[in-house]
Amino acid sequence: MQPDRIAQKIRQALATAKKLQASGHFGDARRACELVLKLDAGNVWAHIRLGLIARQERQGEAAIAHFTAAVEAAPNHIYAIQLLARTLREKRRLDEAEALLDRILPVLPRPVLKYEKGRCLLDRDATAEAVVWFEEAAAEDPKNAEIRSMLGIARRRNGDKAGAVAAFRTTLDLNPEDVAALNGLGNDALEHEDFAEAANWYRRALAIQPGFAKAQKNLAYTLSLTNDTAAARAAFERIFEIRPNLAEAHMDYGLFLLSIGDYARGWQEYEHRWRFDGFGEQDWGGGLPRWDGTSLQGRHLLLWGEQGIGDHILYGTMLPDAIRRAAGTVTVAVEPRLVPLFARALMQEGVTVVERGATVPADMQCPFGSLGQWLRTDPSACSDGRYLKADAARSTELRRRYAALGRPGDRLVGLSWRSANWHVGHYKSLSLETLLPVLQRPGLVWVSLQYGDVAAEIADFAKRHGVAIHQDTEIDAMRDLDGLAAQVAALNAVVSSSNSTVHIAGALGVPCDILLSVGRGRMWYWPASGTRSPWYDSVRLIRQAQPGDWSAALQQLSRFLDAP
């Protein structure tokens, strides 16, 4: 066959393969490419097309093989290099992807390859470095919406939220249908608790790409914050039509269902947290089989605390019931700071309390948060929450000392105003300045229960307003949780934002007024209405009227503090 006829046949076969792929006829498209390779074994476009077909068929390793062949056939082919690097990254072969890019970039410093380098770094959580690469790529290719959109995502993850918004808006100027940018602007509105605006951005993204699971998940979460339970439930269920096994969405759905009192389904969905890579809690079960809630029949069970201090204590309210249900040998493993407190609480149960990670000769294991599926199938199944016991002698001495700070008849009230939760803590926290109208009330002796270094903050507040908040320098509320519990037990009452102090007060049975945010800072175990939580009968709920507005809540708190 003449060379020009061979070339023409190759062109026709490649054009046919492209059309067949676009119409979903992958087998026929593949055969057209294979015909090309019989005529020209090193044809780069045939290898690329085969790789693209394999990607569509979710055959990542086959795609990598074809793109590798394309790069071998044409070592400077930018598109082939980009596709190979991208597919290696998507298959979590980051070392290989970066090695390829690091070899090529000094010779071919193209924006699309810098973009791929940034994507690799972002996948490694090296966000600051990723931003540098995306900014270089965007500067060199300012009309590339994909690069600009990813720059926004990297800036947001790196904490530059204003820069992220700017990048997303520029992206939409270039491409009004960029769903990542629309989702990014939704996230910004959500962070500012403008729920209607956030939902609008997510819906715009979904109108363009109905299968965009991340935007659908964000929409469902946003609707859950507006207390539109029917719409939120429908939005969550829609996610599972798109991505049935999306663990993060199942976990979020579980928390939503728990927040509206659907405990039976909620605990089931919440179990998906162990399949979500971003959950951030390791499995402390030592590889032992998971307990199924049935009688141990003489075997040994390890129950272990998960997540933060507040979660340990909240889920710990189920321990007495779990120990009785197990009817066998039980060891409880908790965060080291909680060992003395839990050991005292469970002493009469005949339970051994150890630090998480200690070697335990158990037969089965179960995290605290998984106990709810058997023990709390409905909010009405919750106990009064009182199971912790403070050091009685220490509490008596602290009460004597604190009483001497005021006048006879004054009430001793503990105060905690800040949450350290990295994700939503700022929504839940108040300033001393905001609390001033309450702190100025007569007949109250305020004792700081706030963890962290707040001495300068308290001193400055006292200097400006003449209001004393007493800080016990002998107790570190962050590290000495047994001491903090003794403090709480020494007081008449506690006023706190939503943090671990509330859980300690509730589990001790000390009256506690909790100031709750109504948006992103409301945790699932604080109901959206009513003044009581099913988890602690001594905790009273006081809510914001609107996100960020504490005025009505503080007026209600003042009325409560006036009551005997």
445 found inside a domain: yes
312 with 426, same domain?
no
**Boundary (domain end) residue, out of 355, 381, 407:** 381
pLDDT at 340 over 80: yes
350 found inside a domain: yes
* Mean pLDDT within 207-233: 94
398 with 485, same domain?
yes
462 found inside a domain: yes
337 with 407, same domain?
no
- pLDDT at residue number 564: 57
309 with 266, same domain?
no
Percent of the chain past pLDDT 90, that is, above it, reads: 78
Whole-angstrom Cα distance, residue 557 to residue 278? 37
404 with 364, same domain?
no
In 3D space, the residue among 109, 110, 129 whose CA is nearest the CA of residue 119 turns out to be 129
| Alpha-carbon dihedral 296, 297, 299, 304, rounded to 10 degrees | 20
257 with 402, same domain?
no
128 found inside a domain: no
How many domains is the chain built from?
Answer: 3
CATH number, residue 495 = 3.40.50.2000
pLDDT digits (tens, 9 = 90+) for 378-424: 999 999 999 999 999 999 999 999 999 989 989 999 999 988 776 67
349 found inside a domain: yes
CATH number, residue 235 = 1.25.40.10
Residues counted in the chain: 564
Containing 330, the helix (H) or strand (E) segment is strand 329-334
* Mean pLDDT within 272-291: 89
pLDDT at 2 over 60: no
pLDDT digits (tens, 9 = 90+) for 119-135: 999 999 899 999 999 99
218 found inside a domain: yes
403 with 542, same domain?
yes
242 found inside a domain: yes
**Amino acid letter, 509:** G
**Boundary (domain end) residue, out of 346, 381, 416:** 381
308 with 329, same domain?
yes
pLDDT at 1 over 60: no
pLDDT digits (tens, 9 = 90+) for 448-483: 999 988 999 999 999 999 999 999 999 999 899 999
Pair 429, 497: CB distance under 8 Å:
yes
Contacts of 385 (CB under 8 A, 6+ apart): 317, 506, 507, 509, 535, 536, 537, 538, 539
546 with 510, same domain?
yes
429 with 557, same domain?
yes
pLDDT band at 78 (very low <50, low <70, confident <90, very high): very high
Whole-angstrom Cα distance, residue 328 to residue 330? 6
Whole-angstrom Cα distance, residue 354 to residue 342? 9
pLDDT digits (tens, 9 = 90+) for 414-430: 999 988 776 677 888 88
Structural domain boundaries, residue 266: 177-280
463 found inside a domain: yes
Cα dihedral across residues 403, 405, 411, 414: positive or negative: negative
**Boundary (domain end) residue, out of 252, 280, 308:** 280
**pTM for the full model?**
0.82
183 with 317, same domain?
no
pLDDT digits (tens, 9 = 90+) for 128-167: 999 999 999 999 999 999 999 999 999 988 989 999 999 9
398 with 368, same domain?
no
